[in-house]
């Protein structure tokens, strides 16, 4: 623990989301996600009667929880969490039992038929480790997602979470989700 602790998270300003799907395709390319599977998505909520209508878009992916239930239920230890909070799957250890898919409150995982393993958002850990932001964050036309280190008091996400109102999804699960949605 000599190194400075990091805790990666995403702050999401859903109001700016225009459902253009750039983040979804960027993820697909960056992480070679098979056609038919998605590591991130945009939830849509359409309400009202003509002409009193509303649409809300809400990008979602793995919440890289503080206490990830997917890691807890994994019988082989394939689902694991890095010290910086990123939840990953070790494909060598994964037996494809899919308990984690059931345990995830956010439906953030999928089964990769071709490889026989469960897969999910890695927060582009390979990009993050070399100092870049995740592909979904970078490509977004309206910069809906803000990526950063919660342990860094100078980070933009730290500033946003200390000055703006926000919510997390399904807090009652005790998972401690780390996708923060600005209100």
* Least distance from other proteins to the Cβ atom of residue 75, Å: 21
**Smallest distance from other proteins to CB 33, Å:** 9
Is residue 128 within 8 A of residue 149, CB to CB? The reply is no
Q: Smaller CB distance to other proteins: residue 38 or 106?
A: 38
Q: Are strands 179-182 and 8-12 parallel, antiparallel or unpaired?
A: parallel
Assess 25 for contact with other proteins (CB under 8 A).
yes
36 is an interface residue for other proteins by CB under 8 A: yes
Instruction: Determine, following the binding rule CB under 8 A, whether residue 147 of this chain makes contact with other proteins.
Output: yes
- Using CB under 8 A as the binding rule, whether residue 125 contacts other proteins is answered as yes
Q: What residues line the site for other proteins (CB under 8 A)?
A: 13, 15-16, 18-22, 24-26, 28-30, 32, 34-36, 46, 48-51, 53-57, 91-92, 114-115, 125-133, 135, 137-143, 146-148, 156
């Amino acid at each position: 623990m000599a190194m400075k602790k990091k805790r990666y998270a995403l702050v999401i300003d859903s109001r700016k989301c225009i459902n253009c799907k750039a983040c979804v395709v960027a993820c697909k390319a960056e992480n070679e996600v098979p056609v038919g599977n998605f590591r991130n998505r945009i939830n849509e909520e359409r309400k009202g009667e003509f002409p009193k209508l509303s649409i809300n878009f809400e990008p979602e992916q793995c919440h890289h929880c503080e206490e990830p239930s997917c890691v807890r239920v994994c019988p082989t230890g394939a689902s694991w969490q890095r010290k910086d909070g990123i939840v990953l799957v070790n494909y060598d250890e994964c037996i494809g039992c899919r308990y984690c898919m059931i345990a995830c409150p956010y439906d953030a995982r999928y089964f990769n038929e071709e490889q026989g393993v469960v897969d999910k958002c890695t927060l582009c850990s390979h990009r993050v480790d070399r100092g870049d932001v995740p592909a979904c964050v970078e490509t977004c036309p309206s910069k809906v997602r803000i990526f950063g280190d919660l342990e860094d008091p100078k980070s933009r996400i730290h500033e946003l979470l200390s000055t703006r109102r926000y919510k997390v999804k399904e807090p009652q699960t005790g998972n401690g989700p780390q996708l923060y949605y600005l209100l």
